[in-house]
Structure 1
């Protein structure tokens, strides 16, 4: 490797690292004593969240207010007003110190967030008739919240929230089709800042009570070194197969994605290792980066954690979280299975082989070297799935297990290496506090996204819900298929500028009830869970959708590939995920709705995987050999039959309860396609 290549690689890694730091809440890096201010506040926030999960009993409104206050304070201390110097005022963009003005703004913003808790009794008695003080602090909260969101998330979410706010006031002056009676300033401030129907609504509650603990758990795993372990374990298992590093990237990213709510952080954690290895065995840089993008983006789909939005789904749909896990299981794992198949297809196209066994870590040794990282994950699964504890209790208990492991892993290694134990214990304690600080930093964007999206939810709750359904019904002409396409495209567009959680909240608030209602108009029942998962899926897919696709930019920085082609290739890989929401909207078997039998659930899963394989072959132009044009419709037929046996059975007059007899038909066509292509298999 030449010096220029090494420098280019280092620059790419630095860019990806900077993107990951921004995603994980690292803005300023002050020097001197002030460098401890932000980590200290973040650690205190983590201790507060652990306290309310264990011994501290507070009213839910107080918890939401304190949660938001911590987030606002950290933002104004951690992120400068501008990224670049403007008007010659360097202190507005400095990253090496915290200006006095940001201390003042941060404290005032935090106080405005706490105002509902400070004067809780008074606000409760004058809801609907706020006094001037209430209006001032309410307006300050809205302004500071939108500015904080702009600093962390970017301008998209504040602009959308402002658009909805303006709509609430200017509704009477709008065209007839979107006209709204409008609201007064008193009603707006009351709804947004004096009740739990706006900023302090369900999304912020989920962020404050559940999501923080899971984010903290993920931060602890990361600081303990689990990310590197997962990728080494994946390489030891899969690296020797055809296109092995790509398969290892999928497995490693999937395991990391179980506890990471960030596509970019996932890419930097695993892609740093896997993208160079993929390029080494022959994957072009664009495809190597695209595989990592697709694998990391879909990490948020995989149960049992699924990012912040999944916990909000449970609250909105009013079901136990285990029901969300159940509903998400088949589509998520079918999507990952198809991505494995796609990497196999790409390796077959390129004539690639796996890595030499001598280059790979030994599986047994690798497994045992980090088996302690699996203990808290397995314990978390036990708490959620078998013990059926609440998500917050499950996460809290898993955190304690993780903390014990972090405390003793360095001393155990030191003892085995015959090194001093004192420095090892000191390093363990430092790692724990570093994880507590990282957990607080990581949560800032989620807390602000949920709070800012609460403004949009609050405006909808002011009486726009029925009007939005009517507007969507008019635009789609009452056609449920067209409405789903419009919803998917809108989610992708909005998601280009918003985090996954915010995209889901916005789209679910606007469209999920409309999907169910319009389907009912057509005498077709769509489970509410399916409508929410539909919005969730396309919010996630926005992470790799060009021209923005921040996940693609992070991966391309590591691979030194062009970002737009990387995003396009990643999106082509993710098309196999994009069809799943359209399928489970019409076939609720895929989300195991009213499916309570293990054999039946496994059958549905296996058929969904094969159907997704067929779709991948149709879109990637390859099965076991290069497709011919007349084979593509046959692959699409297999996909439709295996994912929509209900539709095919109804067309030919088979009763609904006998729909699974369509599966053998789909498998027969799939087998015929194999026999057709078998003579054309390349000899390599």
Structure 2
């Protein structure tokens, strides 16, 4: 829980998140026997703490042994990662995916998912994640930004990781399918095909991670928001399962299954319909970027539209989100984001770039023009679309329960 909290809620680095999770585990192991003694009304605290210390020492030894296999897999995967970094194949893959997709965002994500499936075949879980995330996560970030999709990096990693893990049940390799077939004594290829068929039903979920990051508890500031997201998502998953299985309160008709899928989609991503009515962002002139940065709340980010010519001579036009840090003057907060600017005849250009800063990591370069500052538009809450979804759901429930009673009456007659 602590690891997930630090990664997804606090957005801390993987190393720091793992450190605090490990510290908590050590504390639990040290005190678990003493805690049990309290409930059992045993008062030998010293002996209980000794037992806890022995558990911690044994845990260190077991962890070291288990890390041998992970270390070998990580080292082997590091060869691939190093090859990608040194040869520039990552940029080639970005250009390849962009070329065959024609710049269409959904096609970009679909092709990325297919490549993640292919890359994940035959690899153990740890090496699978390292290879797939190293190759494909930058692809989604760069091409998504070029298409106006700004998502947290954790969501991108979960997207490619999901499809990388699905490779374990994807024929013709399907390591997990072969293992399951060996246990059950069935045909490995048939097992893989059935497992792949059932797994593909949930292939829509990683796309929802990107388009609705609230499902990952990102951007939720109030406990009530968390409760709403959890409850609505649970209902949506049940509806999605009912739609794909063709049975809700009774056997569903084709139009009822389609309606249930529509309801599940609306509950998972209500912002889709709101975006069709009102755009999520409005553009402010870039000339006010200093004032806008100064007026934004502390520890927030600024969303910019930029364009320019890369060092390779390619035209670049994309949106980037840069962290502004604590409250300060506009110039200082922009410098915290990694850029210094200049104004030439009412046009704003990047004049300074902090080495290894957020802006440079986002792919910005000297003399890129900032064309607009994007701010969230004032529009209705997206949850308003839950109302027609639940009304339609209620109508389907009434129809199916009525049909079920009729079928039961005929069966008993």
What interval of TM-score do these two structures reach, taking the shorter chain for normalisation? 0.5 to 0.7
Query: Which residue of the partner structure matches residue 449 of structure 1?
Result: 73
Match of 2:341 in 1: none
After TM superposition, the structure 1 = structure 2 runs for residues 261-410 of structure 1, keeping only pairs within 5 Å, are: 303-305=1-3, 322-324=6-8, 390-399=17-26, 401-402=28-29, 405=32
Q: 2: distance between equivalents of 1:625 and 1:408? A: 49
What SS does the corresponding residue of 2:131 show, helix, strand or coil?
helix
Q: What displacement does 1:555 show?
A: 4.5
Partners of 2:120 and 2:132 within 8 A in 1: no
Aligned partners of 2:146, 2:126: CA distance in 1, in Å? 29
Quick one: distance in 1 between partners of 2:197 and 2:236? 17
SS at match of 2:151: coil
**Aligned partner of 2:155 among 511, 521, 530:** 530
Deviations 1:308-366, CA, capped at 9 Å, x for gaps: xxxxxxxxxxxxx6142578xxxxxxxxxxxxxxxxxxxxxxxxxxxxxxxxxxxxxxx
Q: Deviations over 1:168-203 (max 9, x none)?
A: xxxxxxxxxxxxxxxxxxxxxxxxxxxxxxxxxxxx
Say whether residues 1:515 and 2:140 are aligned partners. Answer: yes
Deviation at 1:544, TM superposition (A): 3.3
In the alignment, is the contact (CA less than 8 A) between 1:403 and 1:432 conserved in 2? yes
Secondary structure of 1:523's counterpart equals: coil
Decide which of 59, 63, 66 is 1:439's aligned counterpart.
63
The Cα shift of 1:630 comes to 1.9
Q: Which position in structure 1 is the counterpart of 2:392?
A: 669
Q: After the TM superposition, which residues 22-33 of structure 1 pair with which residues of structure 2 at under 5 Å, given as runs?
A: none
Q: Taking structure 1 as reference, are residues 503 and 397 closer, same or farther at Cα in structure 2, changes over 3 Å only?
A: same
Q: Deviations over 1:488-514 (max 9, x none)?
A: 222223323112222222222222222
- CA 1:390 to 1:646, structure 2 compared with 1: closer, same or farther past 3 Å? closer
The structure 1 residue matched to 2:109, chosen from 484, 505, 512, is 484
Render the CA deviation track for 1:376-413: whole Å, top value 9, x for unaligned.
xxxxxxxxxxxxx8532441442353256579999x99
Note closer, same or farther for the CA distance 1:453–1:620 as it changes in structure 2 (3 Å cut): same
Q: CA deviation at 1:661?
A: 0.2
TM-superposed CA distance for 1:573, in Å, is 4.5
Deviation at 1:436, TM superposition (A): 4.8
Deviation at 1:679, TM superposition (A): 3.1
CA apart distance, 1:663: 0.9
Distance 1:441 1:512 in 2: 30
Confirm whether residue 637 of structure 1 aligns to residue 321 of structure 2. Answer: no
Does residue 588 of the first structure (1) align with residue 272 of the second (2)? no
Q: Where does residue 678 of structure 1 map in the other structure?
A: 401
Q: 1:614 is matched with which residue: 217, 239, 247?
A: 239
Deviation of the 1:431 alpha carbon: 7.9
- Over 3 Å counting, the alpha-carbon distance change for 1:409 and 1:559 in structure 2 is farther
Kindly state the Cα deviation for residue 481 of structure 1 after the two structures are TM-superposed: 1.0
**2-side partners of 1:580 and 1:430: how far apart?**
43
CA contact (8 A) 1:513 1:528 kept: no
Q: 1:657 to 1:520 in 2, by over 3 A?
A: farther
Go from structure 1 to structure 2 and tell me whether the alpha carbon gap of 1:527 and 1:631 turns closer, same or farther (over 3 Å shift).
Answer: same
Unaligned stretches of 5+ residues in structure 2: 43-50, 280-377
Q: Is the 8 Å Cα contact of residues 141 and 156 (structure 2) preserved in structure 1?
A: yes
Between the two proteins, the alignment pairs up a number of residues equal to 299
Measured at CA, do residues 458 and 657 of structure 1 come closer, stay the same or move farther in structure 2, by a change above 3 Å? farther
CA contact (8 A) 2:81 2:134 kept: yes
**Partners of 2:10 and 2:20 in 1: CA distance:** 19
Question: Is 1:659 the counterpart of 2:283 in the alignment?
Answer: no
Change (3 A) 1:565 1:665: farther
1:591, 1:646 → 2: CA distance? 15
Q: Distance in 1 between matches of 2:247 and 2:103?
A: 38
How far apart, in 2, do the equivalents of 1:407 and 1:548 lie? 48
Report if the CA contact (8 A) 1:646-1:656 is conserved: no
Give the number of the structure whose residues are more often helix, by fraction.
1
- 8 Å contact from structure 1 (residues 611, 639) kept in 2: yes
CA deviation string 1:96-120 (max 9, x = no partner) = xxxxxxxxxxxxxxxxxxxxxxxxx
| Mapped contact 1:590–1:604 kept (Cα < 8 A) | yes
- How far apart are 1:535 and its partner, in Å? 1.1
Distance 1:646 1:561, change over 3 A: same
Distance 1:656 1:455, change over 3 A: farther
Once residues 613 and 598 of structure 1 are traced to their aligned partners in structure 2, the CA distance between those partners, rounded to angstroms, is 23
